[in-house]
Amino acid sequence: MRIRRSLACTALALTTLAATAACGSGSGGSGKGTVNAWVYPVITDEKANKAYWDGLVKEFEKKNPDIDVKVSTYPWANRDTSLATALSANKGPDVAYLIPDQLPAYQRNLVPADEYLSAADTKALRPAAREAVTVDGKALATPVLMSAYPLLCDKKVFEAAGLADQYPSTWDDLDALAPKLKAKGYYATSYSGDTTATLNMTFYPLLWQAGGDVFAKDNKSVAFNSAAGVKALSWLRTYVRNGWTPKDLVTSTPKMEQTDLAKNKVACTWQNTAAEVAPFWGEDNIVVRQPLSAGTSAAYGTVGTLAVFKGGDTKAAGKWVSFVSRAKNSAGLQKPGGYFPTREDASDLYPGDARQQETAKALDTTKVGPLATAARDVMGSLAPEIQAALLGKKSPKDALDAAAKAADQVIARKR
């Protein structure tokens, strides 16, 4: 289970920066172009992180002697507040590491990636990676890493329940397994209905699998109260009512070690990574499957990007980002954290690793969640209504309609 990152609390602050541009390093009087880049510890080992960026800077500056690059690594905590404050003071970076749902807030500040990426580099991007950074038809940043949350199943549970190797591929498959698992004392899955849990990882994958989406195509209204949305929420409520998922998680988020998932009582999850469950399930018991399908196979996935801000030496900044994003250069950023390349021309980073090989197959079906300025606010309107439906206080249709009415009002205020 995951809770919303701090960026959810600072979305409003980011939106107010729509007219603010980066400071722009310029030449600094040296006659050289300069690039000031802000990154975060994607590589968690401090020495390895420094070595990676120092090595790239050295190689880039050797090939581009007319450009100086400074890479500064900042902590994840309060990163949006720090970036927002710097931009407000006209002391922001020329390049920054951003995730997709930050892009709409900075849209007017950013140089579209097509203005500095070559046609060959653009063509090499995975379609899902490019889609993850595209707002209003323009790619606002350059993807440099990605991940996927496929379906993970606990081999130990399936064997104990006498269902060895009967891993699900569809909602119907899981429906058929659920009563058999319950009869043996196990849950088919676990769902975090706590309103602090991000819907990107909980409800939205089900919505996508049912063929629905969160927003209408123009992002001016929501679409989650469609037939697909009702289907997804009704399916989920069936699991709560039948005891096929732990009911306590509908209203709370306990520590991981206190959950049924950690106690080998849950068969499958789409809301966790292999690294999260490994300490509890054991490495050998993690079975990676493709995302469930109810007509469409879809999963949540993250994409990390480098974005170029207007106001500085954007030509030099674009060269730097293009350089970092090349397959051989970004591999060193991806592999330490188990991430994947964003380019189809990249080498396999995990040869012989069956789990990573299976996870990689899900990359092209991943979605990062809606790219709309009001995305986090809409989530705040929808989450409590989903919870009300799961608790039986409202029908799925009534809950989604109520959430849609509130969400559309939020969107109208932000336009």
CB 160 within 8 A of CB 239: no
E-strand ranges in 316-399 read 366-367
Question: What pTM was computed for the model?
Answer: 0.88
Class of domain 151-300+374-414: alpha beta
Query: Where does the pLDDT of residue 10 fall: very low under 50, low under 70, confident under 90, or very high at 90 and above?
Result: very low
pLDDT-derived band at 6 (thresholds 50, 70, 90) equals very low
245 alpha-carbon distance from chain centroid: 24
The string of pLDDT tens digits covering residues 40-66 is 999 999 999 999 999 999 999 999 999
Token pair 């732990």 in the structure block, residue: 246
* Same-fold call for 6-148+301-367 versus 151-300+374-414: yes
Helix (H) or strand (E) segment spanning residue 343: none
Could you report the per-residue pLDDT of 221-253, keeping only the tens digit for each? Answer: 999 999 999 999 999 999 999 999 999 999 999
Give yes or no for residue 3 having a pLDDT over 70.
no
Class of domain 6-148+301-367: alpha beta
Report d(CA 226, CA 326) in Å as an integer. 40
**Structure confidence at residue 203 (pLDDT):** 98
Mean pLDDT of the chain: 92
Residue 361 CA to residue 206 CA, distance in Å, equals 19
Q: What is the pLDDT of residue 12?
A: 35
Residue 233 backbone dihedrals phi, psi, to 5 degrees: -70, -35
CA atoms within 13 A on the CB side of 217: 1
Pick the closest to residue 244 from 298, 175, 290 (CA basis).
175
User: Mean of the pLDDT values across residues 248-270?
Assistant: 96
Q: Is the pLDDT of residue 189 over 50?
A: yes
pLDDT tens-digit map of 104-160: 988 999 999 999 999 999 999 999 999 999 999 999 999 999 999 999 999 999 999
Q: Tell me, what's the pLDDT at 30?
A: 56
Q: pLDDT tens digit string along 349-389?
A: 999 999 999 999 999 999 999 999 899 999 999 999 999 99
Question: What secondary structure letter does DSSP report for 357?
Answer: H
Domain extents for the chain? 6-148+301-367, 151-300+374-414
